[in-house]
Structure 1
Amino acid sequence: MRLLRRRCLSLLAIASCFLLSFLRPHANPCDYPTAGLSTVWTNNPSILRQSVAFPDGASVRAILLRIDPSGFGPSFACGFFRVASCDAFVFSIFIVHSHDGSFITNSAIASPQVVWTANRDRPVGDNATLQLTETGDLVLRDVDDTLVWSTNTSNKHAAGLNLTEAGNLLLFDRANASVWQSFDHPTDTLVIGQSLSEGMRLTADVSAANYTRSRFYLTVFPDGLRAYVDSDPPQLYYRKGITTVKAGSKPTYVTFTNGSLSVFVSFKQPGKPDITIPLTPAESAQYMRFESDGHLRLYDWSAAGWRMVKDLLEVYPDDCAYPTVCGDYGVCTKGKQCSCPSTDYFRQVNDREAKLGCEPLTPLSCEFSHDHDLLTLNNVSYFNYIDTDATAFRSISEESCRTACLRNCSCKAAFFQFGGGNASDGNCFLPSEIFSLQTNQLAISYYSSSAHVKVQRIPLSPASAPAKSPPPITKDIDAGVPVVVILGVGVSLAFVIIVIVFGVRRWKRAEEDGELFDLVPGMPKRFSYKELKEATGNFSKKLGEGGFGSVFEGKIGDEKIAVKRLDWIGQGKKEFLAEVETIGSIHHLNLVKLVGFCVERTHRLLVYEFMCNGSLDKWIFSANRTPVLDWHTRRKIILDIARGLSYLHEECRQKIAHLDIKPQNILLDKKLNAKVSDFGLSKLIDRDQSQVMTRIRGTPGYLAPEWLTLKITEKVDIYSFGVVIMEIVCGRKNLDYSQPEESVHLISLLQEKVKANRLLDVVDCYDDDIKLNEGEVIEMIKLAMWCLQIDSSVRPPMSTVVRVLEGTVGVETSLAYNFVATSTAMSSKDDTLDSLFVPSASVLSGPR
């Protein structure tokens, strides 16, 4: 009986399709809004006949189409929507401009508008399949049969799939009751008649071209509608409450009515049953979208196409009340002007783009929390004052609020709003992350407030007192002075000279024996040569070899270690001292930990934490060019490197330029967390120095163009980091002689491809992992291009790079597409070029 019913449903659907085709001769026979069980759709244009491209670059492969009753105008369809090049698709519901079932594509008004997406965070490729299974589950699988998304309705007896006139995709049972509907799983858009109930949320996309989720979300609470920017904890910037009395425990909900978003509850009237507010029909097609800047915008269809009608969030009084309008730490004035809180402590992330926000000149460091201070900003307030539920303290004094922030290292500011029980008391909000601030406006009475932003004081080193020289001899020796006096003076001078000579010799011996290393503050543990010889089994297990020595596996107690032995003392002595001084005094999750060192006579050894997965090059430069690491792991490794470099450049008392960033100097632990290693070539840069002079050091293929001038900043590391990004993304070396001649130098190839608008040619688009994450891959390459700018002043600071990778800041778009100078593209096989470079310090390569 069940099989007979299914066959009847299928025959009915087929008959309806052909009837629709007869009535509308120009319509596609598959333009039908329902489907039966055991139906499979393959994401292939030769199979899905309704496959069209649009002038703006979008393309759709429709599965179901609900034609507008008039036969002309906006119609709902569902199917595969192409979000970018390289064939990345999301299964979506979209509004298209159709005429008798055919999509109109020859005008700007025809661009499809996506209103719901099933797999926004995980696109699929060509030949992916959508199946309405025999058990009633709607399942999306990628071409490799990987499960991407499902309705999970196999136990709910679904009998078919329907796309309604309102744009709701639903699974229905034999009684035509809904067992699943897209309206219950909104993404970033509402259509007319769609509601949000308590607990539901709209989450904005990262951008118009990136469908992954951003930090903005709109949700429903029992007391009304709220909009947040996600942080720890989330920060509220919009609230719309309810004024009616709720009927028992019935939920609050908001509904998209004609041109507005209304907050409803079922409410009581004396002597009457529960009632709800009826909907008002709309005169034209509409949708509202929660967008990447935190605005909720209403769009309306007209003869000219889609137009933005209004912003439905009544954030008062202007755009300054939105969290990201001026970026982190940016101060917004009159809805459009952005500035930094203070030029003494902050600078713009990008001088040409004030809306990208500001960054501290000296980043906050918990290690130096005793140097924290609060910068009071006059006439400045914060958007989050409306969230009285999230205030850390209530009815306290302003001074207590300031003190609480200074005592909490994670606190980034103290925002105080007057209005407590006493005249001087109020509410205190202590955020762990600061978004945009705003200048006070007299029209807003509740902005009787003050703002105190935490800053890092730059500790001043005590001035070195000038050495006191002996008073000059201004009187000539009298000719009458006895010779014996002269001889006495001569003997005394000889004695002094002898003392000095012996002192110098003793000092040299002390240096040779390592006594001077004890004077370095904060030194790690000092080992004897005998201890390390025993720990490494007489240096029997070599892990790797580099320019200045070799690395051996060892064990002290139960702890594995990696011991670097400098073999070439003549070349490596300075590098050894630099590494001990540098890495011995800094500590960060993404920097390899220096456990200890040894210096005895001619022996120089460094003891590091053991990194069992070796160096990054072993993971990304595979012989068969098959990626060993998935995209998410590669992306995390890039973020780890960026965090380590950000700490070196911006969170230490002196800026530390590593000067040899490359995959061989990035080590991976057992969880594939990446850590920067090998500080033998590092350079300390005072914070008041704009640049330093130094000899060329580093590795060919990773050198920034400014090395040719010998005047460098820490931004040479950022250029090298850009090269490493490209190597990780592309899975090949920057200088790869196994490639065709025109492709030997990866960065030169990138320069050619981006100018030809063929950016993805540098990556393997046949790699399924790349195809699934193509949007992120493109953004990562754009970040690399920002880091590879020839003009070092245009390159982003590493703290900005970290924020880009964390999704809080966008990539600069106004970039020059020249990334290489002539000599940096030269081969490392060039003897002339090689002679200019110091060999790199140890390469801790190989598994360990």
Structure 2
Amino acid sequence: MAMVSGLLLLMLSILIVEARTQPNQIGEIHLGSQLSPISNMHSWLSPSGHFAFGFYSQGNGFAVGIWMMGQPNNTVVWTANRDDEPVSINATIHLSEEGKLLLRTEQGNENLIADVSEVAASASMLDSGNFVLYNGSSVIWQSFDEYPTDTILVGQNLTYYYELVSSVSSSNHSSGRFLLEIQEDGNLVAYPTNSARLDVDTYWASHTTGDDQGLFSTLYLNHQGFLSLDTGYTKPVLLARSSYPCNNKTTIFRATLDADGIFRLYSHCLENKTSRSVHIEWSALNNTCKVRGFCDFNSYCSGMGTNADCSCYPGFAFNDPSEKFSGCYKNVTESFCTGTKEGKMYDVKAVENILFEPNPYSVLHVKKENCGLCCLEDCLCDVALYMNERCEKYTAPIRYGLKDINISSIAFFKVKAASPAAPPMSPTIIIESKKRIELIFTKSCQES
């Protein structure tokens, strides 16, 4: 009898250990649980099955993050260490027996996913999209409080010092080219990431400024789909609200700084666990070409709505023809200032209805027909812009290019001539008398 009781106790203890260490698909995640990209357990689901934490495919490997389940594609809302290289199929995620949430690579390196000094006793993927570590009943770490990536969900706040950074693309969730942040004055502002974050770099703002309001400001999204900015001093400013009726179906809202640089509010109407419809409730901008830096240096944006296209300026070529938004380079090797002989080998090409960052090194008051000549005669000049009876001279790199039929301007770009031009005519000397000699030039760049 004692032997039977001992066997029963041994079997019961084994079952308890197995129940504690095996990963649960739904509910509490116990110490010792792990995930693998190639196993059936590649993610931990929330109780409703709407969100998951684990491995998702990126590039030629896998990244670790949180996504909203959907068909045909899931929607990634948070990525851990997003700029790390993708890991191989042999990587694993562990909620270790020591209470650490970590990523173990194929090479055996262990990288913390949750950098927290306290020891976790369990974890959970919540229906809010928040992944949480617990010590007893206390939350010691949560993805909502960690650095956000490009998205905030209902119940998640964006505060001063934190920022949203767009993804590279819809399939690459590494840090992209645009950011959204709350400034010290309480203004919510969007910039290109490779800018100095000055006024000239701003392409969208909430206009909620006030003295030091940003230190207490919070961007938040509620269950009704209201996207608001609370400055801490006045009534919260409503930026956007949901207007699409989901007919009493479960609705999940998210606000995302998309890869094109536009901040948008989305609603996901859930038909069932595998079917849902996605709707854009609000866009900060309706024209992608209004995004500063959408087309990078030495290129300009044209098109309307989301149908934006990047083109090189005359005399420039794409850095990467497969990614036209990545900008252009000057396709001549010698300098315009090499010497007078080289200088005669160039011409100007005019492009109308174009605008770029207003940062000229020289401004002249000349007639339109002389503006291009002024650039041609100046070895430092790459382009001259004639607008509002001013001739502005610029040198490359040139950024924030925009072409729009509503812009009344003409730009003269210096390009290599198809064939070397004949030397300019020498000054004509006219002798009217012994006391007077006049030099008459055939062409000149002279201010009006």
Q: Which residue of the partner structure matches residue 201 of structure 1? A: 163
Q: Deviations over 1:561-600 (max 9, x none)?
A: xxxxxxxxxxxxxxxxxxxxxxxxxxxxxxxxxxxxxxxx
1:437 counterpart letter in structure 2: L
Q: 2:26 aligns with which of 32, 57, 71?
A: 32
| Cα pair 1:205 1:292 within 8 Å, conserved | yes
- What amino acid does structure 1 have at the position aligned with 2:299? Y
Q: Which runs of 5+ in 2 are unaligned?
A: 1-14, 367-371, 424-448
Instruction: Report the Cα offset of residue 294 of structure 1.
Output: 2.1
SS of the residue 1:144 aligns to: coil
1:33 to 1:381, Cα distance in 2 relative to 1, 3 A: farther
Return the alpha-carbon distance in structure 2 between the equivalents of residues 168 and 241 of structure 1: 27
Letter in 1 for 2:414: V
Once residues 219 and 156 of structure 1 are traced to their aligned partners in structure 2, the CA distance between those partners, rounded to angstroms, is: 30
Q: Determine the C-alpha separation between the residues in 2 that align with 1:250 and 1:264.
A: 11
Letter in 1 for 2:229: V
Q: Tell me, yes or no, if the aligned pair for 1:374 and 1:452 is still in contact at 8 Å.
A: no
1:286–1:301 Cα contact (<8 Å) kept: yes
How many residue pairs get aligned? The number is: 381
Query: Which AA in structure 1 matches 2:355?
Result: S
CA distance in 2, matches of 1:313, 1:156: 40
- 1:364-420 Cα distance to aligned partner (Å, 9 max, x none): 8477498589866543223x67xxxxx689xx95669x999x9997x97677998xx
- SS of equivalent residue, structure 2 residue 34: strand
Indicate how the Cα distance of structure 1 residues 172 and 350 shifts in structure 2: closer, same or farther if over 3 A, else same. Answer: closer
How far residue 266 of structure 1 moved from its aligned partner, in angstroms, is 0.6
The whole-number CA distance in structure 1 between the counterparts of 2:140 and 2:170 is: 32
CA contact (8 A) 1:120 1:211 kept: yes
Give the structure-2-normalised TM-score: 0.65
2:255 to 276, 288, 303: 288
CA RMSD of aligned residues (A): 5.1
Alpha-carbon shift at residue 297 of structure 1 (Å): 3.6
The alpha-carbon distance between structure 1 residues 306 and 431, as it changes in their structure 2 partners (threshold 3 A), is farther
TM-aligned CA deviation for residue 225 of structure 1:
2.1
Query: Which of these two proteins has the greater Rg computed from alpha carbons?
Result: 1
Contact 1:319 1:325 in 2 (8 A): yes
Shift, 1:94, TM fit = 1.2
Aligned to 1:186: 148
1:145 aligned residue = 108
Report the secondary structure of 1:267's partner residue: coil
Q: Which residue of 1 aligns with 2:128?
A: 166
- Aligned-residue offset at 1:267: 0.6
Q: 1:434 aligns with which of 381, 396, 399?
A: 399
Instruction: Please give the per-residue CA displacement for 1:316-339, whole angstroms capped at 9, x wherever unaligned.
Output: xx3332356677523515454858
Mapped partners of 1:337, 1:150: distance in 2: 37
Structure number with greater CO (CA < 8 Å, separation at least 6) is 2
Of 309, 314, 320, the residue aligned with 2:289 is 320
Structure 1 position 66 matched with structure 2 position 32: no
Displacement after TM superposition at 1:208 (Å): 2.6
Evaluate the alpha carbon distance shift between residue 417 and residue 157 of structure 1 in structure 2; reply closer, same or farther with a 3 A threshold: farther
Q: Which amino acid aligns with 2:201?
A: L
Matched, 1:250 2:223: no
Supply the distance in 1 between the matched residues of 2:160 and 2:128 (Cα, whole angstroms).
22
As a proportion of its length, which structure holds more helix? 1
Aligned residue number for residue 50 of structure 2: 75
Distance change (3 Å), C-alpha of 1:453 and 1:79: farther
Contact map agreement 2:354 2:411 (CA 8 A) in 1: no
1:481-518 Cα shifts (integer Å, max 9, x gaps): xxxxxxxxxxxxxxxxxxxxxxxxxxxxxxxxxxxxxx
Q: 1:45 to 1:338 in 2, by over 3 A?
A: closer
Letter in 2 for 1:140: L
- Cα 1:456–1:45, aligned 2, differ >3 Å: closer, same or farther? closer
Give runs of aligned pairs for residues 351-362 of structure 1, distance below 5 A.
362=332
The CA distance in 1 between the partners of 2:252 and 2:293, in whole Å, is 30
Conservation of the 8 A alpha-carbon contact between 2:68 and 2:75:
yes
Q: For residues 217 and 124 of structure 1, what CA distance do their matches in structure 2 show?
A: 26
CA distance 1:453–1:183, change in 2 (3 Å):
farther
* Equivalent-residue separation in structure 1 for 2:339 and 2:133 (angstroms): 57
Q: Deviations over 1:676-707 (max 9, x none)?
A: xxxxxxxxxxxxxxxxxxxxxxxxxxxxxxxx
Tell whether the 8 Å contact from 2:229 to 2:237 is kept in structure 1 after alignment.
Answer: no
Offset, 1:93:
0.7
Question: Structure 1 94/364 Cα, relative in aligned 2: closer, same or farther at 3 Å?
Answer: farther
Q: Percent identity?
A: 20
Write the deviation string for residues 203-238 of structure 1: whole angstroms up to 9, x where unpaired: 223223333333233333234222223445467352
2:300 is matched with: 330
Aligned residue runs from structure 1 range 334-345, under 5 A: 334-335=304-305, 336=307, 345=315
- In the other structure, the counterpart of 2:34 is 41
Distance in structure 2 (CA, Å) of the matches to 1:417 and 1:214: 34
Task: Give the C-alpha shift of residue 309 in structure 1.
Answer: 1.8
